[in-house]
Amino acid sequence: SQQGEEDPQALSIQEGENATMNCSYKTSINNLQWYRQNSGRGLVHLILIRSNEREKHSGRLRVTLDTSKKSSSLLITASRAADTASYFCATVGFSGGYNKLIFGAGTRLAVHP
């Protein structure tokens, strides 16, 4: 079962433009993470934001978290063709005695030169 739902499912932009992806979830969380996956490869961790944080930056990435709306967004500024990949949000919540990490369905980003 997947808790996070990403929006949009697919996004196509030109190099230099900003890309924004959204993630909504249903239950309370301890943290939320964003991962990137190039076609046919494993996932790579991008950034982790804790439930008591509202915004976090890493290079060209900016993540926001609104726990009242149960939503997060990932912004990639000044996109490059190399940013073409699928991006997944993953929520971490306490369930059954331990922290559990659940992935959403992902947003497929295409950046055109």
Partner 1 sequence: EAEVAQSPRYKITEKSQAVAFWCDPISGHATLYWYRQILGQGPELLVQFQDESVVDDSQLPKDRFSAERLKGVDSTLKIQPAELGDSAMYLCASSLAGPGLWGTGELFFGEGSRLTVL
Task: Give me the residues that bind partner 1 (CB under 8 A), please.
Answer: 1-2, 4, 31, 33, 35, 40-45, 48, 88, 90, 92, 94, 96, 98-106
Cβ closer to partner 1: 6 or 15?
A: 6
Grouping H, G, I as helix, E, B as strand and the rest as coil, residue 7 is strand
Between CA 34 and CA 103 the distance in angstroms is 9
Cβ closer to partner 1: 96 or 113?
A: 96
Provide the minimum distance between the beta carbon of 21 and partner 1 in the complex, in angstroms, as a whole number: 13
Tokens of 40: 């046919």
How far, in Å, are 82, 83, 87 from residue 112 at the CA level? Answer: 9, 10, 17
Question: How many Cβ atoms sit within 10 Å of the Cβ of residue 52?
Answer: 9
Cβ closer to partner 1: 41 or 54?
A: 41
